[in-house]
């Protein structure tokens, strides 16, 4: 909405917003990496993901804005499956939320484990989920903004790129470290776990599969979105 209503203001404070976006991505990622409570980890992860959207919008490029809008959908699907995963674990493993006390749950909760993997792949921006498209567009918009007519010193450009890489790396790190702690390794003998009610598991599977289905049907979403954003960019130039 700010991009549409106040494009001149967005451009004037572009570098401030970009710096804020990168700080948000890294700050949220570091806090998520140090959480043991699964739901708290997902909350800090959401803070980091909002930074990606802000970064895409702040580039003021068609690719960046399209990526930010698509990442809104990507994050919604990925994080929905992960919060539903947390719910399944709480119900199916006796209220457990501490990931350090979990382990080996993939053997007793295979559907939840598979859906959780898809959720983490989605927010990490990895295939075969829609997350790879949204983050690729954000990075493409960010790169084109930095290298196409930028007057910034090479050192600052390098710092910004390194910050973006660190942010993406943190997302992948906390995603797969958490996945390993919860579902792999030796199972805790004092924990009785299993898939909860079938309706909850089916709902989780549907949301997770949607992350892949949207990628397969991506052209039906990305093409109209790109057209709309390109039209918006032409209006800005006027």
Reported as a single tens digit per residue, the pLDDT across 69-120 is: 899 999 999 999 999 999 988 887 777 888 988 888 888 889 999 999 999 9
Render pLDDT for 202-227 as a digit per residue (tens, 0 to 9).
Answer: 999 999 999 998 888 766 676 676 67
Percent of the chain whose predicted confidence (pLDDT) is above 70: 84
Render pLDDT for 183-207 as a digit per residue (tens, 0 to 9).
Answer: 987 777 666 777 787 888 899 999 9
Structural domain boundaries, residue 185: 2-237
Q: Other CB atoms closer than 10 Å to residue 211's CB: what's the count?
A: 25
Note if the pTM is more than 0.95. Answer: no
Torsion of CA 16, 22, 27, 28, to 10 degrees: 120
Please give the distance of CA 226 from its chain centroid, rounded to a whole number. Answer: 20
Q: Would you say 136 and 67 are in contact if contact means Cβ atoms under 8 Å apart?
A: yes
Q: How confident is the model at residue 235 (pLDDT cuts 50, 70, 90)?
A: very low
Mean pLDDT along residues 28-53: 94
Q: Evaluate if residue 178 carries a pLDDT over 90.
A: yes
Q: How many domains in the chain?
A: 1
The 10 Å CB-count burial string (b at 16+, else e) for 175-187 is beebbebbbeeeb
């Amino acid at each position: 909405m700010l991009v549409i209503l106040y494009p001149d203001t967005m451009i004037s404070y572009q570098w401030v917003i970009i710096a804020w976006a990168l700080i948000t991505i890294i700050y949220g990622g570091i806090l998520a990496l140090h959480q043991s409570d699964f739901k708290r980890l997902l909350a800090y992860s959401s803070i980091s993901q909002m930074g990606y959207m802000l970064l895409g919008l702040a580039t003021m490029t068609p690719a960046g804005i399209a990526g930010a809008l698509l990442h809104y959908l990507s994050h919604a699907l990925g994080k929905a499956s992960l919060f539903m995963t947390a719910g399944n674990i709480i119900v199916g493993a006796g209220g457990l939320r501490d990931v350090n006390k979990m382990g080996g749950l993939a053997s007793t909760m295979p559907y939840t484990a598979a859906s959780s993997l898809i959720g983490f792949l989605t927010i990490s921006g990895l295939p075969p989920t829609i997350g790879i498209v949204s983050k690729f567009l954000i990075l493409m918009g960010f790169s084109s903004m930095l290298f196409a007519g930028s007057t910034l010193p090479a050192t600052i450009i390098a710092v910004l790129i390194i910050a973006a890489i660190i942010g993406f790396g943190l997302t992948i790190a906390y995603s797969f470290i958490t996945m390993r702690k919860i579902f792999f390794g030796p199972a805790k003998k004092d924990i009785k776990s299993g898939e909860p009610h079938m309706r909850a598991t089916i709902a989780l599977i549907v949301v997770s599969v949607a992350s892949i289905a949207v990628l397969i049907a991506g052209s039906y979403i990305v093409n109209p979105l790109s057209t709309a954003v390109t039209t918006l960019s032409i209006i800005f130039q006027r």
